[in-house]
Amino acid sequence: MSVERPMGILQKASDVIELLADRGPLTPGDIAESIGMPRPSVYRLVEALNQSRLTVTTPDSRIKISERWLRLADASRSAMHEWEPARATLDLLCRETGQTTFLTVPRGDHAVCVDWAQGRGINVLILKPGRSLPLYAGAAGRATLAFRKHDVAPYLQRAPFPALTRRTLTTAPQLRRDIKLTRDRGYSVSDEDVTDGIAALGVPLSDRGGELRGALSLGGLAEDIRGNQADFAARLTAAGVSLTEALEHERR
């Protein structure tokens, strides 16, 4: 492998793993185009990832993440003791609304799902444990973007972002308006901006000092979310408050 700083290599490996997790098996050419990396470098990096049993090359020469990540993900979730109170909250909110409920945590420029309770229509939902959404799309991501303490200006300077659907907010002005609206009403609204026909609502989970620790969201068919938005938002907000109080109690 070329003489590169270890951190640079690790970052590229992380980019490849994130890409495969989001999009599924890809050819080396697809990977090279998506992350802006020369194809020979992709081949060398994939060879190293295969040797580490983090990726696998399929018979049709596509690269996919290996089953080893299932064990790593289980170990990671087990180690997150601070979020144990969330399980009951997710289950209760799912029963009350019939929608799939999610717990996400911020990781860089993404909201990563660490747990869920499965409601109706789960087969059409992109967000699942271990998967992530960018901060500009989806209820969890946009709640994170709106309520975290970080200055949003550096992130928005990278706009316009790639559209996931025709409803995706991709420009800085669109996202600034959404951030203000989200803060004013206290929750985010994702209306078919990640997947056609799917909507979601999200609230922040912040500690007493106002530091964002995660987000609680629910999602399902857009017509269900729109028709029950006020009720779902009230239940989601109450669940978020309850979970935040439980987390604070656990920390004491």
Q: What's the Rg (C-alpha) of the chain?
A: 19
What pLDDT shows up at residue 7? 55
| Structure confidence by residue, pLDDT tens digits, 163-221 | 999 999 999 999 999 999 999 999 999 999 999 999 999 999 998 888 899 999 999 99
Q: Which residue segments constitute the domains of the chain, with CATH numbers given? A: 6-66 (1.10.10.10), 72-251 (3.30.450.40)
CB 194 within 8 A of CB 125: no
Q: Is 59 exposed, middle or buried (0-12, 13-18, 19+ CB in 10 A)?
A: exposed
More confident residue, 81 or 11: 11
| Structure confidence by residue, pLDDT tens digits, 65-90 | 887 765 655 555 554 566 778 889 99
The owner of tokens 């420009």 is 171
CB 114 within 8 A of CB 97: no
Calculate the alpha carbon distances from 79 to 2, 30, 74, 157, 252 in Å.
35, 34, 9, 35, 19
| Identity of the amino acid at 36 | G
Calculate the alpha carbon distances from 190 to 63, 73, 103, 226 in Å.
31, 27, 16, 10
What are the structure tokens assigned to 149, written together?
Answer: 């303490």
Closest CA to 140 of 85, 96, 190, 184: 190
What pLDDT shows up at residue 19? 85
Q: Give this prediction's pTM.
A: 0.72
